[in-house]
Structure 1
Amino acid sequence: MKNERKRGRPRAFDADAAIGKAREVFWDRGFSAASLDNLSAATSLNRPSLYNAFGDKEDLYLDALEGYRADSMVALEDALDPDLPVRENLSRIYASALEIYLHGDQAARGCFLISTATVEAIRHKRVRELLGRSLADFDGAIEKRLLLAVEQGELRKDTHPRSLARLASAIMHSLAVRARAGDSREALEALARSGVELICGPA
């Protein structure tokens, strides 16, 4: 078990804070370009302490990805409040995503998962599995809300919630990539509005 390797942590060690700081390094540099020196400086842990606390660099990266996935699911579930119209649910998802995607000290960083895990998924099986599980979780949460929208008459009876949920996710991924590529907030918000209309129909 990975946790069995995590011994010898410094006194008053805050694992979540260290993982959060490591995530910033991986987000800015990517997995491959993030050196142990970068991670050590960001977390204020020397190399032996990093290894004792988290295992190798891939273990730390997976911890960072898992934390991001969990945070994203909390935000997604909040945006998908069934007491709100489904159109507003989707608008809230995209607005929340853009606040994350457009953040960055030097340039917009997009989505941590999409920007870094898709690159590493080919060579790292555990990253590929976490990426696939994350995408399935996001799709599943949106599909559940769309199913309710069909039952409540917000969407047509012949709607296919699973396909539309994957489309809704694909729009979010496109926003992430385009934010990282330098698209303006106005252009991204326009794309998000078009996505909502595509899924829900014209307002």
Structure 2
Amino acid sequence: MVQKTPDTADTSGRRGRGRPRGFDTGQALNAAQASFWRAGYAATSLDTLAEATGLNRPSLYGAFGDKRALYLAALAKSADESVASLAAALAARPTVREALALVYDSAIRIYLAGERGPQGCFIIGTAVVEALGDAAVREALAGALTRMDGAFEARFAAARSAGELPAEADPRGLALIASAVLNNLAIRARAGLDRATLQAVARAGVDALCGPA
């Protein structure tokens, strides 16, 4: 998935602890998202979240609810960011080939970032693990994937209408493959593959979707 890297999240406006309504909720959520992204849901303690957000536990509970509620809020935020950035990238280039290349190049840049190594995608890296035992996470994950598929599908449909793709092209099927390539890049980045290898995967994906350049 394509989203803002947590390492660039702005937490400079954090207020002091113990002030549940005297702080910037968006900045606190950014900080919590970054913590979950670095360590995953299970390994991120309340103490870690309190330190990251500048809030004590009572303030965290008062502002967001429990740890699970805070994670679900971060997951929803990440899904919205991913869909918005994907749609923007797909619309930013005149041809579908160029648009896909931009999407994958942007994703690789984000997936390889991280303080302690390649971070991959927040959604794939955290929600896939938690979805097995948590229906709300599973629903949020499925919803995010469906929205991403929809963004790709709309772009392929437009490309078919513009004559970039054959009349018999299936925008839905192509969208599912495009999403699979994106998610595969996230997994391979987390596995430690280098930028050149990820770029080769992206180029192969674009050629498979659009035909050889």
TM-score calculated relative to the size of structure 1: 0.94
Residues in 1 aligned to 2:21 and 2:157: alpha-carbon distance in whole angstroms:
49
Residues in 2 aligned to 1:117 and 1:17: alpha-carbon distance in whole angstroms:
21
Query: Is 2:129 aligned against 1:115?
Result: no
Residues 74-128 of structure 1, C-alpha deviation per residue, up to 9 Å, x if partnerless? 2111111176100011011101111110111111010000000000001111110
Residues in 1 aligned to 2:67 and 2:89: alpha-carbon distance in whole angstroms:
33
Q: Closer, same or farther in 2 for the Cα pair 1:47/1:162, shift >3 Å?
A: same
77-86 or 124-133, which deviates more:
77-86
The residue number in structure 1 matching 2:166 is 156
Is contact 2:20–2:62 with CA below 8 Å preserved after alignment? Answer: no
How far the C-alpha of 1:143 sits from its partner, in A, is: 0.1
Please list every run of at least 4 consecutive aligned residues from structure 1 whose deviation after the TM superposition is greater than 2 angstroms: 8-12
TM-score calculated relative to the size of structure 2: 0.89
How far the C-alpha of 1:11 sits from its partner, in A, is: 4.5
Residues in 2 aligned to 1:126 and 1:84: alpha-carbon distance in whole angstroms:
38
2:73 to 50, 63, 69: 63
The residue number in structure 2 matching 1:134 is 144
Is contact 1:62–1:127 with CA below 8 Å preserved after alignment? Answer: yes
Residues in 2 aligned to 1:82 and 1:41: alpha-carbon distance in whole angstroms:
38
Residues in 2 aligned to 1:26 and 1:50: alpha-carbon distance in whole angstroms:
15
* Counterparts of residues 1-150 of structure 1 (less than 5 Å): 10-81=20-91, 84-150=94-160
Tell me which amino acid in the other structure corresponds to 2:212.
Answer: P
Residues in 1 aligned to 2:29 and 2:134: alpha-carbon distance in whole angstroms:
19
Is contact 1:110–1:176 with CA below 8 Å preserved after alignment? Answer: yes
How far the C-alpha of 1:36 sits from its partner, in A, is: 0.3
Q: Which runs of 5+ in 2 are unaligned?
A: 1-17
Q: Closer, same or farther in 2 for the Cα pair 1:120/1:142, shift >3 Å?
A: same
Secondary structure of the corresponding residue to residue 182 of structure 1: coil
The residue number in structure 1 matching 2:200 is 190
* Counterparts of residues 163-202 of structure 1 (less than 5 Å): 163-202=173-212
Residues in 1 aligned to 2:20 and 2:60: alpha-carbon distance in whole angstroms:
10
Is contact 1:143–1:162 with CA below 8 Å preserved after alignment? Answer: yes
Q: What do you get for the CA RMSD once the two structures are aligned?
A: 1.3
Tell me which amino acid in the other structure corresponds to 2:116.
Answer: Q
